Amino acid sequence: MIQLFMKRDTVRPQLSTRQEALLGSLRQLGVANNKTLLESIRRRESISRVTLIRDLHQLIKTGLVKKHGRGRGVFYQAETGVLLRELDPGSYFEQGPDQRVIQPQRFQFEGRQMWDQIFSVDELKHFGQLTDIFRQHLDVFTESAVKRELERITIEFSWKSSRIEGSTYTLLDTERLLKEHREAPGKTREEAVMILNHTIAFEYIWSHPKHFLQLSLKKIEEIHDLIAKDLGIEKGIRKRPVGIVGTVYRPHDNQYQIREAVSDLCKLINGFENPFLKALVGVVGLSYIQPFADGNKRTSRLVGNALLIAFGCCPLSYRSVDEGLYKKAIILFYEQHSLAPFRQLFAEQVEFAAGNYFL
């Protein structure tokens, strides 16, 4: 069995309470100059400009903060500032897509430093403990018991992932379709095929765990081919622009840019040691890049599970996810590059999977 955490990607530097507060202020502000930061900190405690500059230099040295510009134009940005910026989906989506102001620059999936603080040390430790329990149970399960649990998580994943994409099948409808080969009355054939394709793809990634120890565009395309079968979806990298319902964000619109973005994403993911970080970045990254004409988010969730399974972790069914919140969390990353809502959702699904499958 592959070790869950072969080593920590980086060790978080020891910061003083004041430096932690400064870093927190920068994450909330996104970017700030000396004056703005000084005003923010002084609302909580007394601090001199000299001390502020010294703390900023220390944070820059540790790689947690970046300095931009020169002279009076200098401003600072926390490396994880945008990614961990807390945004309330409720208030954010009160405005329609055409009224919201989105990040002007595309998100670049490169450089590991900014990802190191996505999960806290305590979260990673907890995920590791949950995975140890999952492996212990899997080791003593009989072949028939594993088959039963795999069937259950496959049904629930196929149902929920399809629901996120607009399927009207209920969980019971899905169970009848997969166990008894009975399509639900009043539903379209396409809905049934979508669910069946999920099942085939899930069984494939479960049966070929080592295949996904290293991620590549070819392997992502393999999963997409299974998801797209008999649905009239063009296979391979899309050849034309694509729009996304509910947002004005537009992904790359030519094959060269798309291939380069996916290559950067795979390189980033393969550089991580933490399988949960691999999976999280795989899901949001492929959703953001939208490399295919359709089926991108379905493919992304399967890629995330393929990475978890490859490293001996329990896959996620997303059974308890609210579809609306899932879509909003993804759109917040599209528009604001804020990963905080989806990070929370993902962590909750790790906890849910551990408490419901292979027990």
Looking at the predicted structure, is the pLDDT value of residue 268 above 90? yes
Residue 236 is predicted with a pLDDT of 96
Tokens of 42: 């002084």
So where are the chain's domains? Answer: 17-79, 113-356
Q: Which pLDDT band, with edges at 50, 70 and 90, does 35 fall under?
A: confident
Q: What is the pTM of this model?
A: 0.81
Give residue 354's pLDDT. Answer: 95
The token duo for 112 is 């590991």
- pLDDT surpassing 70 at residue 8: no
- Give the residue from 123, 129, 79, 113 showing the smallest Cα distance to 268: 113
- What are the φ/ψ torsions at residue 358 (nearest 5 degrees)? 55, 45
- pLDDT of res. 81: 62
Query: Residue 34 half-sphere exposure, CB side, CA atoms within 13 Å?
Result: 17
Does residue 23 have a pLDDT over 90? Answer: no
**Which residue type, as a one-letter code, is found at position 110?**
E
**Considering only CA atoms, which of 204, 196, 207, 231 is closest in space to residue 220?**
204
Which CATH code fits 17-79?
1.10.10.10
Q: Which of 29-43, 254-268, 328-342 has the lowest mean pLDDT?
A: 29-43
Q: Measured between alpha carbons, how far is 203 from 241 in angstroms, rounded to an integer?
A: 31
103-126 burial, b at 16+ Cβ within 10 Å, e below that, comes to: eeeebebeeeebbbbbbeeeebeb
With a pLDDT cut of 90, the percent of the chain lying above it is 69
Phi, psi of 59 (to 5 degrees): -65, -35
Domains 17-79 and 113-356 share a fold: no
Neighbours of 259 (CB within 10 A): 15
Q: What is the pLDDT of residues 168-225, one digit of tens each?
A: 999 999 999 999 999 999 999 999 999 999 999 999 999 999 999 999 999 999 999 9
State the average pLDDT for the chain: 90
Locus of tokens 């994880």? 80
Q: pLDDT above 70 covers what percent of the chain?
A: 94
Segment 58-84, tens digit of pLDDT: 888 877 788 888 888 888 887 666 787
Assess if CATH 1.10.3290.10 describes domain 113-356: yes
Q: How far, in Å, CA of 63 to CA of 24, rounded?
A: 15
Among 112-121, 149-158, 336-345, the minimum mean pLDDT is found in 112-121
Query: Which pLDDT tens digit goes with each residue over 83-131?
Result: 877 778 888 999 999 999 898 889 989 777 678 778 888 899 999 999 9
Tokens of 282: 């795989």
Residue 168, both tokens: 């009207």
Q: Look-up: residue for tokens 């450089």?
A: 111
